[in-house]
Amino acid sequence: MSRTIKFEKMHGAGNDFVVIDARTTEMPLNDIRKKTPALCHRRTGIGADGVLLLGDSDDSDFSMHYYNADGSLAGMCGNGARCLARYASRLGFHEKLTFRMGDNTYRAEVHDAYISIHFPVSPRPAVKVIDDITWCELKPGTEHIVAIDQEFSQSSEESLRAAGRQLRNRNDLFPNGTNVNFASPINQNHLKLVTYERGVEDITLACGTGAIATAISWDYLKHGHDGPPFEGEKPESGITDHHIQLDSPGGPLEVTFRANQKDSHRTYSNIQLHGPAVSVFSGEIEM
């Protein structure tokens, strides 16, 4: 049976989504998931990198559900979270809200120009050398690997897409696949970032969890890496707060976090993602 469903098309730094209030659709979430590739198709559908659903929650303001464009599940979507928070605040939720995604409860603060999402996660980066390139592997809500090299700023989009696709499909190393981030430093607190996204199977204009993964990897590779120190830096004991800007093809995102250094261990907390969330149009679609 086909149904007409209301949706809003939104984006955060060009990472775009079909947003649906699942409380009003009377359609099982899994049925919407099955329709996700058709909804996200850029020629025959609405066109998006994924579908965001707002659902009920017992212990938060709402629950977030996210499907990649191919219908696969992802642990988290940072740009999507900002869009859903903006959408929720327009539905009448407060500007400060909480939402549930998987096992985590996130907090969001909705401002006119930007939205901040507090990530209740403490990712533990691990260094992996693959084909002579140093990668940092970590999971700020979903799976990422990050390489940081000045050379990526000169690389063509085609070459990064091909390299991202190849690594994403290295099932021997990443049985669940991974999102792949190529970053190049501009200065200590500012990097350029290109992300190949699993489930979209392409470079997207921005990736929020990729921005978090990159900001933390940048710090970890300098201070927390078990191998020889990078740039001659030695780990120091203590707490430091960081604010990093990541420039993606679709625009800048900002990440703040706290690094906690104890002996040779470096851990991360107070992670926040800040950036825009914009409504493009709304409509109805037969599903």
Binding site residues for substrate, as ranges? 15, 68, 78-79, 179, 197-198, 208-209
Taking the C-alpha atoms of residue 262 and residue 251, their distance in angstroms, rounded to an integer, is 35
125 near ligand API, rule: CB under 6 A? no
Closer residue to ligand API in complex, CB, 197/219: 197
Region near ligand API per CB under 6 A, out of 39-47, 120-128, 146-154, 204-212: 204-212
77 is catalytic: yes
For residue 10, the Cα-to-chain-centroid distance in whole angstroms is 15
Please identify which residue in 71, 164, 208, 275 interacts with ligand API, judged by CB under 6 A: 208
Contact between 116 and ligand API per CB under 6 A: no
**Which residues 75-94 are close enough to bind ligand API by CB under 6 A?**
77-80
**Contact of 115 with 277, CB cutoff 8 Å:** yes
Read off the tokens for 17: 């989504």
Residues 164-183 that bind ligand API (CB under 6 A): 179
Round to whole Å and give the CA distance between 139 and 75.
Answer: 9
Binding range to ligand API, per CB under 6 A, among 30-38, 74-82, 114-122, 230-238:
74-82
Residue 207 among the catalytic residues? yes
Report yes or no: 109 and 96 within 8 Å, Cβ to Cβ. Answer: yes
Q: Which of the stretches 51-59, 108-116, 207-215, 240-248 binds ligand API when contact is defined by CB under 6 A?
A: 207-215
How many Cα atoms are found within 13 Å in the side-chain-facing hemisphere of 156?
3
Q: Which two tokens stand for residue 28?
A: 């099982």
Binding residues: 15, 68, 78-79, 179, 197-198, 208-209
Neighbours of 74 (CB within 10 A): 21
Q: What are the start-end ranges of the E strands in 111-209?
A: 115-119, 126-130, 133-138, 144-148, 179-187, 190-197, 202-204
Residues near ligand API (CB under 6 A) are: 15, 68, 74, 77-80, 142-143, 179, 197-200, 204, 207-209
Enumerate the active-site residues.
Answer: 77, 207
